[in-house]
């Protein structure tokens, strides 16, 4: 019984890993590059504005600027 459970867990984990790897490989094959497309102040309102704007860009993501920590950068995949 335990061996069957272990086999089932491995099968599910393997399928999830393959699905994730396929998605990552497909996105890296798309010509383009990551770029900061907008900058907001690192305030609660700035974070909210960035999160609202990220739906308008391809693969948008908001990240704190690691150089200054004073701004939030909106990153997008630009082809």
User: What is the predicted pLDDT for the residue at 31?
Assistant: 85
Domain identity same for 3 and 18: yes
The number of distinct structural domains making up the chain is 2
**pLDDT by position in tens, the chain (length 79):** 545 554 445 444 444 444 444 444 445 566 899 999 999 999 999 999 999 999 999 999 999 999 989 999 999 999 8
Q: d(Cα 66, Cα 64) in Å, to the nearest integer?
A: 6
Domain identity same for 23 and 41: no
Domain holding 7, by residue range, is 1-30
User: What is the predicted pLDDT for the residue at 45?
Assistant: 96
Domain identity same for 67 and 38: yes
User: What is the predicted pLDDT for the residue at 17?
Assistant: 45
Domain identity same for 37 and 73: yes
Predicted structure pTM score: 0.59
Domain identity same for 42 and 5: no
Domain identity same for 52 and 65: yes
Domain identity same for 41 and 70: yes
């Amino acid at each position: 019984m335990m061996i069957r459970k272990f086999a089932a867990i491995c099968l599910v984990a393997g399928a999830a890993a393959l699905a994730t790897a396929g998605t990552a490989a497909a996105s890296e094959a798309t010509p383009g590059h990551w770029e900061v497309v907008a900058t907001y102040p690192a305030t609660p309102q700035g974070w909210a504005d960035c999160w609202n704007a990220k739906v308008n860009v391809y693969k948008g993501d908001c990240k704190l600027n690691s150089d200054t920590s004073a701004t939030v950068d909106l990153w997008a995949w630009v082809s």
